[in-house]
Amino acid sequence: MEIGPLDGDDSYVGLLGFDWHTHADLLTDAKTTSAARAIFAFILGIFQGDYLLVERSKNGVILEKYIEEDPGYVGMNVEEDEKEIVCRVDKPELTIGFFPEFHDPTLLLWGTRFGLLKLAGFFASLSKGVSGQVLLSDLSWVEARKGLKVSIAIDENGDLITQNGRHCFDWKMTSRRAYAASEIIEGVAWSEKPCHNCFDDVAPDDLTLMVSKGEYDDLRS
C-alpha cells in the first residue's frame, strides 16, 4: 500500500503495484484524528469488502481506476461510449476450474495480478524443496470451482499432471520446473494486456493446463 500526505489536495492512498488509487478522504473520514488508526481502518475495510475497484474506459483506453466506498454504489455519470467496470476488492484473487467443454479439456488457473503473483511466489517456495503434497485448492486465497482438487508435490523424477476422476488432479514437478513455472506465471501477472500461457510439456495430449489474466473473468460468476 502506498500513502501520500493525509492533508491537502495532493493526498492519496493507493495499492502498491496497481493503478487503483483514491484520495485521502477515505482515510480522513475515518472518524479518527490518528493517521495510523485511519490507515488500519482502511486496510481492514479492504479485507472486509467495504470498498470497490472502479475502472472507467473510453474506446478501449482506460481513463481512471479508483477505489470507492460501497454504501450502495450508484456509479458515476459516464458518456454513451464510455465503459465502467466495478468489482469488489475482496473478489477471489485466484480461481481454478476444470472445463471439459472447451475445445480441449482445460485445467484453468486465472485471477488478478496480485493473485497470480501469489501463485508465482507459491511455486518459487516449492522450488526450494518443500516436502509433501500441497492442495492448491485448499489455500485461503484460492477459489476452486465445483469442488475441484489440485494437489502439487515436488518429485525430482519428472514432471507430469494426471487426472484422477472428474474433479481431481495431481501435479508432480521437479524443483527446477517449479521455479520455471513461477517465472512464467509472474510474466503473465505483470502483462499490461490480457494474456495466458500453457504448460503443454507437462500435460497429456488430451488436457490443456493454462494460467491466464484478464481473459476469463466472466467465468467467476
Q: Which residues of the chain have pLDDT under 70?
A: 1-36, 38-39, 42-53, 59-60, 62, 66, 69-92, 130-131, 220-221
What pLDDT does 108 receive?
94
What pLDDT does 15 receive?
59
CA angle 175-177-179, nearest 5°?
Answer: 70
Hey, what amino acid is at 170? D
What pLDDT does 221 receive?
47
Query: pLDDT tens for residues 95-126?
Result: 999 998 888 899 999 988 878 888 888 888 88
The 8-class DSSP code of residue 53 comes to E
What pLDDT does 205 receive?
83
Domains along the chain with CATH numbers = 2-88 (no CATH), 94-220 (3.30.1360)
Closest to 97 measured CA to CA, from 57, 131, 49, 146? 146
What pLDDT does 198 receive?
93
Q: What's the whole-model pTM score?
A: 0.60
Cβ atoms 159, 201 nearer than 8 A: yes
Strands 168-173 and 12-14: unpaired
